[in-house]
Amino acid sequence: MPRNTTSKEKFKTKHGVFDNFTNTTLFKLISRGYFEGIQSPISIGKESNVFSALRKDNSKIIIKIYRLETSDFNRMYEYIRADSRYPKMKKSRRKIIFTWVQREYRNILRAREASVVVPTPLGFLNNVLVLEYIGDDMVAKKLKDDIPDNPKTFFNKIIDNMRKLHKAGLVHGDLSPFNILNHNETPVFIDFSQGTTTEHPNFKEYLQRDIKNISTFFTKQGLNINTDKIYDKITK
């Protein structure tokens, strides 16, 4: 475990943008050796902020921080309460957000074990998720911002990942060009917080929505796509 060289007060001063609870959570992760300090913001979303962070050996990782006060925990609860993995979920804001983070970690881990191309999940604590950094000097761009050189090959790789995910009993639930990275012409699935099992009563609807989102994007790149055939390819 890397030696921690950041004092708690110095950390709070440097990262005063976060609430005290999140600052404490981040400091605990530093103390446990996950990283040395936050480097720079990567994306600011409605419910979470994503940052790069540096390890002691100067390698990079990703930390995803769910905001405690502005996250839509009611929407999160609707997803979680229908998830058979969380049968006794109580409607408490912090408990729901913490479970949401744990759920995303579990989904990514399960996807990775099924050979889906995803960032390696490194750990989580409370409202913070720690992930592998995808990219070289710069973080890999989202598909929407980095059109692949060969759209057909890239699209087929996405469908192959979706098929593996389905075989693992999961559906992403929010798949789109916004949460697929293009890393050296390889699709990397991210943002698994809405991912759920195929036991979910709405899993077919979620899968069809994922297929539609991806197909719409690649149709604009000149591909001729039959969504019914894609659904059959993923589920059979």
**Candidate list 136, 174, 210, 232, residue with the active-site label:** 174
Q: How far is CA 235 from the centre of its chain?
A: 23
- Give me 81's structure tokens: 């309460």
- Give me 59's structure tokens: 């390698």
Three-state secondary-structure class, residue 157: helix
Q: For 169-178, b where at least 16 C-beta lie within 10 A, e where not — what string?
A: ebbbbbbbbb
191 is catalytic: yes
Alpha carbon distance, N-terminus to C-terminus of the chain: 44
In 3D space, the residue among 88, 91, 114 whose CA is nearest the CA of residue 195 turns out to be 114
**Candidate list 136, 145, 191, 228, residue with the active-site label:** 191
CA–CA separation, 118 vs 109, rounded Å? Answer: 9
CA–CA separation, 50 vs 13, rounded Å? Answer: 19
Catalytic residues: 174, 191
